[in-house]
């Protein structure tokens, strides 16, 4: 951990009691700050408040009182999910109070080698693969943190100058990380996500590009080269560009040619040996390979990881095989693009479980994928009628169900040996579940109840 004194004696407001907010509050106390912690909700677990107060932190819950904007805070550390049009946040913006996220605080105390990953899809898998690959050859600690569910600042406290940290960073986190400076930055892809938060696609792109804002030619931006738009976006960085591509051969980075993965013209391994299924995971592997090779990782270490790693939970996760049916949990597919790539990963008939929060869009884009890959559909949630319309357009049998749990036995009734039963909702979970993780966990529990087996 790097010793810094910029928070000594400063008044700091921490907004949000998530894992990152709680860790940030305790860290700021160590850094000499006078800390107030605020959450709009009242925690059900009193231990959270007791723990904060025991560290000398003033705690305010049950509201974001606008009066806090008049207390002269020097800095606000905001939970990334709190929008900037929140009245209290908007008041701080208007008066010019610096607003950062916990990722910025983590960067300020980090003293090692930083690799950071962002993108619309594939962030967590790419982050995990990159960490595993670098760790295979490392003599020092290699950890991961960030939007992957582990506090950046908490891990950074325990790392030294020779250690490596691979961080997954969301657009929300990057908006509040003005000085973050990874030596290697990865952009997996950019689609149109979170426009309810960012308002426009350009705002969303600009937030993603904060990952490379402070990079120089001595740093590296690893970026997907498979769309012209992403190639143009790369031109906005001052870093050395390292492309990865599943579709376009580029000798400057990692790419696929005739079923073989190459790094700058040298063979690495066949794509068929990657244990993760689907074209999206080839892309994730290519991004991780580029970062790993830039970090000095050997081909043998890369092969070991890619031939053994079976996936991140809820991200096209293999659950089990039962009576010649394969069950997959892709609850993290909360948008159309993610479900598109998930379906392309299977050469068997798919029974698709899909639906969720109605964000106002329709699913005609999925019709060609339904025609090619889907044998039958079980639809649920607020948007089930729209999903059903797309299934009908594709000529696919559609059954309605209450949710992702009740859909499991319905899918089983429609399945035959050799089929895949896939939860890939193409929608957020918030109409029925508090998170995609809960939705995925409940799906797995339903599969276990159906089969009498535990996930593998």
311-320, 356-365, 374-383: which is most confident: 374-383
Report d(CA 454, CA 446) in Å as an integer: 11
Domain boundary among 308, 334, 354: 308
One domain, residues 331 and 259: no
Task: Note the helical H segments in 96-151.
Answer: 102-109, 123-137
Where residue 39 falls among pLDDT bands split at 50, 70, 90?
Answer: very high
Per-residue pLDDT of 104-133, as tens digits, reads: 999 999 999 999 999 998 999 999 999 999
Per-residue pLDDT of 236-273, as tens digits, reads: 999 999 999 999 877 789 999 999 999 999 999 999 99
DSSP state at residue 200: S
- Residue 328 pLDDT > 80: yes
125 is in an annotated binding site: yes
Asked whether residue 2 is assigned to any structural domain, the reply reads no
307 is in an annotated binding site: no
122 is in an annotated binding site: yes
Report percent pLDDT > 70 for the chain. Answer: 100
Domain boundary among 308, 327, 361: 308
Please report, for residues 102, 210, 261, the alpha-carbon distance to residue 94 in angstroms, rounded to integers and kept in the order given: 21, 22, 50
240 is in an annotated binding site: no
18 is in an annotated binding site: no
Residue 344: both structure tokens together: 């392309």
Residue 419: both structure tokens together: 């089929």
- Residue 98 pLDDT > 80: yes
Q: Given this model, what pLDDT does residue 101 score?
A: 97
One domain, residues 92 and 132: no
- Residue 412 pLDDT > 90: yes
- What is the CATH number for 214? 3.40.1190.10
Residue 437: both structure tokens together: 């993780």
Per-residue pLDDT of 268-310, as tens digits, reads: 999 999 999 888 899 999 999 999 999 999 999 999 999 999 8
One domain, residues 153 and 289: yes
Q: Given this model, what pLDDT does residue 104 score?
A: 98
- Residue 345 pLDDT > 90: no
299 is in an annotated binding site: no
3-class state of residue 227 by DSSP: coil
- Residue 197 pLDDT > 90: no
Where residue 163 falls among pLDDT bands split at 50, 70, 90?
Answer: very high
Q: Which of 408, 414, 411, 370 is nearest to 389 (CA)?
A: 370
Please count the structural domains in the chain: 3
Q: Given this model, what pLDDT does residue 249 score?
A: 79
Q: Provide the residue range defining the domain that includes 375.
A: 317-451
User: Who contacts 264 (Cβ-Cβ below 8 Å, separation ≥6)?
Assistant: 251, 252, 253, 254, 293
Q: Given this model, what pLDDT does residue 337 score?
A: 87
Q: Given this model, what pLDDT does residue 194 score?
A: 76
User: Who contacts 441 (Cβ-Cβ below 8 Å, separation ≥6)?
Assistant: none
One domain, residues 68 and 198: no
Phi, psi of 67 (to 5 degrees): -60, -20
Q: Given this model, what pLDDT does residue 322 score?
A: 96
Where residue 155 falls among pLDDT bands split at 50, 70, 90?
Answer: very high
- What is the CATH number for 67? 3.40.50.720
Mean pLDDT of 147-169: 95
One domain, residues 337 and 279: no
Q: Which of 240, 236, 255 is nearest to 294 (CA)?
A: 240
Mean pLDDT of 390-405: 98
Q: Chain-centre distance of CA 24, in angstroms?
A: 20
Where residue 90 falls among pLDDT bands split at 50, 70, 90?
Answer: very high
Is there a contact between 224 and 244 (Cβ–Cβ < 8 Å)?
yes
Q: Given this model, what pLDDT does residue 198 score?
A: 84
Domain boundary among 308, 333, 360: 308
- Residue 45 pLDDT > 90: no
Q: Given this model, what pLDDT does residue 257 score?
A: 95
Report d(CA 322, CA 127) in Å as an integer: 31
- What is the CATH number for 428? 3.90.190.20
Mean pLDDT of 429-444: 96
Asked whether residue 4 is assigned to any structural domain, the reply reads no
30 is in an annotated binding site: no
Q: Given this model, what pLDDT does residue 248 score?
A: 84
Where residue 151 falls among pLDDT bands split at 50, 70, 90?
Answer: very high
> Which carries the bigger pLDDT value, residue 44 or residue 392?
392
One domain, residues 236 and 170: yes
Q: Given this model, what pLDDT does residue 193 score?
A: 72
């Amino acid at each position: 951990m790097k010793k810094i004194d910029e928070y000594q004696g400063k008044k700091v407001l921490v907004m949000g009691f998530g894992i990152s907010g709680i860790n940030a509050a305790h860290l700021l106390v160590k850094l000499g700050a006078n800390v107030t912690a605020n959450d709009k909700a009242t925690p059900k677990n009193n231990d959270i408040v007791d723990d904060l107060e025991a560290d000398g932190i003033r705690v305010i819950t049950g509201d974001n009182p606008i009066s806090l904007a008049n207390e002269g805070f020097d800095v606000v550390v905001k939970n990334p999910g709190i929008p900037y049009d929140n009245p209290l946040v908007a008041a701080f913006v208007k008066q010019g109070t610096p607003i950062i996220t916990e990722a910025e605080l983590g960067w300020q105390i980090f003293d090692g080698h930083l690799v950071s990953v962002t993108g619309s899809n594939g962030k967590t898998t790419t982050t995990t693969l990159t960490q595993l690959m670098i760790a295979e050859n490392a003599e020092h600690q290699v950890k991961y943190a960030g939007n992957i569910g582990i506090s950046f600042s908490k891990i950074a406290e325990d790392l030294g100058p020779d250690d490596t940290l691979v961080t997954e960073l969301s657009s929300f986190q990057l908006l509040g990380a003005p000085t973050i400076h990874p030596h290697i930055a990865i952009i997996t892809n950019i689609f149109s996500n979170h426009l309810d938060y960012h308002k426009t696609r350009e705002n969303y792109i600009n937030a993603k590009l904060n990952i490379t804002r402070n990079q120089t030619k001595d740093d590296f931006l690893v970026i997907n080269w498979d769309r012209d738009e992403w190639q143009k976006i790369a031109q906005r960085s001052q870093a050395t560009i390292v492309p990865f591509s599943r579709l376009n051969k580029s000798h400057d980075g990692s790419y696929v040619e005739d079923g073989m993965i190459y790094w700058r013209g040298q063979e690495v391994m066949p794509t068929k040996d990657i244990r993760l299924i689907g074209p999206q995971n080839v892309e994730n592997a290519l991004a991780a390979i580029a970062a790993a090779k830039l970090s000095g990782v050997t081909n043998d270490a890369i092969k070991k990881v890619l031939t053994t790693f079976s996936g991140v939970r809820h991200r096209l996760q293999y659950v089990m095989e039962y009576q010649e049916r394969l069950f997959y949990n892709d609850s993290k597919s909360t948008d159309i693009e993610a479900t598109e790539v998930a379906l392309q990963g299977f050469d068997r008939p798919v029974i698709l479980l899909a639906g969720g929060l109605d964000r106002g869009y329709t699913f005609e884009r999925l019709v060609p994928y339904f025609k090619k890959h889907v044998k039958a559909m079980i639809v649920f949630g607020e948007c089930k009628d729209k999903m059903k319309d797309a299934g009908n357009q594709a000529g696919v049998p559609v059954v309605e169900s209450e949710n992702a749990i009740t859909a499991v036995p319905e899918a089983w009734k429609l399945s035959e040996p050799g089929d895949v039963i896939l939860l890939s909702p193409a929608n957020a979970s918030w109409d029925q579940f508090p998170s995609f993780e809960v939705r995925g966990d409940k799906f797995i529990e339903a599969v276990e109840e159906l089969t009498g087996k535990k996930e593998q």
